[in-house]
Amino acid sequence: MTITYEYGGGLYVNLTNRCDCRCVFCLRHNGNKGSIYADDLWLEREPTREEALADLLARDLKSYPEIVFCGFGEPAFRMDDILWLSDKMRESIPELPPIRINTNGHANLILGRDVTPELRGRIDALSISLNGSTPEKYIAETCPKDGEKAWEAMLDFTRRAAKYVPRVVMTVVDNGLSEEEIAACSKLAQSLGATLRVRQYISE
Ligand code: SF4
């Protein structure tokens, strides 16, 4: 079971396969169990928070530029465990590197509460998938199970989280986006208190 793995110098944490979307660009399509990031990311079962903590503390955490909760699914399904892990790591390692979560921004929808105040002092950065400047484009790219409600939830989460998390970045995948679409996404991200990053499309 791959709970943590290194990629691009950072330490990535994989806690769940669960997701409420089916993005057209998702690396998990066609039964893929790994990706360019690591060979075997599909979890036969989710690790407990204690197993994840033991795995993390077995590494030299201070040696990484950042710790990224990413998953081979949507990490917000384990948000309570992520916050617990942040607390435990900070207790053990006083000079912990920044902690980022890569997320689709549906945490409040998934948890049924506003979790954003709980991110303060625990999460240093969020990378939130925007994926489109309108609900129609967003839904076409990400196919969320809750449809337009998921779009609204993602925007609301971003706006709220920007009050508590020092660095909030929204991302779009460049699979042929027009300059107008990128400009519209950038404007939307800024209106929510975030900045936009255009990610390269990865085809495998
Ligand atoms: S939100 Fe992430 S894990 Fe879920 S389908 Fe989209 S790319 Fe895949």
What's the pLDDT tens digit per position in 98-139?
999 999 999 999 999 999 999 999 999 999 999 999 999 999
State whether the Cα torsion 199-200-203-204 is positive or negative: negative
Domains and CATH numbers, the chain: 4-200 (3.20.20.70)
104 Cβ closer than 6 Å to some ligand 1 atom? yes
Transcribe 190-204 into DSSP letters: HHTT-EEEEEEP---
Q: Are 43 and 13 in contact (CB under 8 A)?
A: no
Distance CA 171, CA 90 (A): 28
CB-based contacts of 175: which residues, under 8 Å, 6+ apart?
25, 201
CA of 14 from ligand 1 middle (Å) equals 13
Lowest mean pLDDT of 43-47, 84-88, 157-161, 168-172, name the range. Answer: 43-47
- pLDDT score of 21: 95
- pLDDT score of 28: 75
Q: What is the mean pLDDT of the chain?
A: 93
Q: Is 38 or 7 the better-scoring residue by pLDDT?
A: 7
The per-residue pLDDT for range 54-72, each reduced to its tens digit, is 999 999 999 999 999 997 8
26 Cβ closer than 6 Å to some ligand 1 atom? yes
Instruction: Retrieve residue 187's tokens.
Output: 């404007």
Is the model's pLDDT at 37 over the cut of 70? no
74 Cβ closer than 6 Å to some ligand 1 atom? yes
Q: Is 163 or 41 the better-scoring residue by pLDDT?
A: 163
> Which atom of ligand 1 is least distant from the CA of 129?
1
CA distances from 123 to 29, 43, 61, 119, 184 (A): 29, 24, 16, 5, 27
CA distances from 158 to 72, 106, 168, 189 (A): 21, 9, 8, 9
- pLDDT score of 31: 65
- pLDDT score of 204: 47
Is the model's pLDDT at 162 over the cut of 80? yes
CA of 93 from ligand 1 middle (Å) equals 31
Q: Is 187 or 71 the better-scoring residue by pLDDT?
A: 187
- pLDDT score of 39: 67
- pLDDT score of 34: 65
In the block, residue with structure tokens 């990413």: 70
> Which atom of ligand 1 is least distant from the CA of 20?
4
Is the model's pLDDT at 85 over the cut of 60? yes
Q: Is 199 or 125 the better-scoring residue by pLDDT?
A: 125
- pLDDT score of 175: 81
H or E element, residue 6? strand 4-7
Residue nearest to atom 3 of ligand 1 (CA): 73
CA of 107 from ligand 1 middle (Å) equals 13
Q: Assign 176 a pLDDT band (cuts: 50, 70, 90).
A: confident
- pLDDT score of 60: 96
CA angle 166, 25, 134 (to 5 degrees): 65
> Which atom of ligand 1 is least distant from the CA of 21?
5
Count CB atoms within 10 A of the CB of residue 203.
8
71 Cβ closer than 6 Å to some ligand 1 atom? no
- pLDDT score of 142: 94
Helices (H), the chain: 49-57, 79-92, 107-111, 135-142, 148-161, 179-191
Is the model's pLDDT at 203 over the cut of 70? no
CA of 24 from ligand 1 middle (Å) equals 9
Nearest to 56 by CA among 69, 43, 44, 46: 69
CA of 190 from ligand 1 middle (Å) equals 23
